[in-house]
Amino acid sequence: MLAKAGPAPVERANSSPGSGIGPEVLAHIEEALTRHMGPIAQVLVRRANHAGVTLDELRARLAEQIPDEAERAIFLRSVGVEDR
């Protein structure tokens, strides 16, 4: 008799291959985005983190997902982007 497989493990952004951005940085970005977008942030970070993406590109792509301009600015500051 075959054992039933349990649920698939949840893939966190910090375990994603992709860009080469460190797992601690990705976890921080995901945590910051979660404050503005809720649990969908995990999916957004994972999708935006692909091979060749730079840290600046990743932060910008994720910021575009936040509709409110003030919230977007708060997110960007929280992930290390200074006002320009």
Asked whether residue 83 is assigned to any structural domain, the reply reads: no
Considering the entire predicted model, what is its pTM?
A: 0.74
Residue type, 71: E
Asked whether residue 15 is assigned to any structural domain, the reply reads: no
pLDDT tens per residue, the chain (84 residues)? 555 554 444 444 444 456 789 999 999 999 999 999 999 999 999 999 988 899 999 999 999 999 999 999 999 999 998 765
Asked whether residue 47 is assigned to any structural domain, the reply reads: yes
Asked whether residue 37 is assigned to any structural domain, the reply reads: yes
DSSP string covering 60-79, please?
Answer: HHHHTT--SHHHHHHHHHHT
Distance CA 50, CA 21 (A): 10
